[in-house]
Structure 1
């Protein structure tokens, strides 16, 4: 079982209403569970070791991923204003410092910028979603 497959399982669980997934393949057992303290959409996941499970060593071909998190609690917007296109979409390359989203908190609009260069591989929330401080908003594959 490779790390890409495990990441796909994590992504599947994070987007679905299920709380836990366990799978066994080639003498390897993986259990992925949403943390009980964060039941809302976009909640963090944890890979939990299972008795008797062995982990494959990461390959050199593994692409580093980086989560960009909400700096504060508020309303998440994908565009800079009404009737404007989203600032970024999945697959877009971004540079460090690029404006990629907006958070509204207490009638104040706060810019969400990419804190490093990379390709957007996941946008965790829909436009106009309520988010909590620390929620993952975007996932980047880091530029080499």
Structure 2
């Protein structure tokens, strides 16, 4: 999905009375929720604008059945944060067991903070980037062992 299109969606939501918008296009799902100014998003990040977006692949890449490993990839290009806010502890560390839907990171793109969620349960066996790393769409952020 084109980032310009996502930016236009965010602008449309911020100017409209709707509180939430979810759209799927080209295998990527985007969910935009309006929050009151100054309110924290579900991940605890206070974005500079009144809206936040959650971007996740609509159909995750299949995991290899023999390895039991699954990669969680960046849905967009931006800056990767391991914590929900500056000075807070990382959301997850290597060895942590996560549940599907759990917040595990944050991506900042075009001054919008996007929550990275685990798309399945597993044990974190690798975190591929340090805090504040510049990442590209499709980069592996986390590797899970599904046989925890």
TM-score (norm 1): 0.56
Within 5 Å, which residues of 2 pair with 1:75-94? Answer: 75-94=79-98
> Which of 105, 108, 111 in structure 1 is aligned with 2:109?
105
1:46-61 equivalent positions in 2, closer than 5 A: none
Equivalent-residue separation in structure 1 for 2:136 and 2:146 (angstroms): 24
Name the CA shift for 1:119/1:64 in 2 (closer, same or farther; >3 Å): same
User: Superposition pairs for residues 1-144 of structure 1, below 5 Å?
Assistant: 63-143=67-147
Deviation at 1:119, TM superposition (A): 0.0
Report SS of the residue matched to 2:106: strand
Q: Which has the larger radius of gyration?
A: 1
TM-score (norm 2): 0.55
Q: Distance in 2 between matches of 1:73 and 1:88?
A: 21
Contact 1:117-1:143 within 8 A present in 2 as well: no
CA distance in 2, matches of 1:95, 1:83: 24
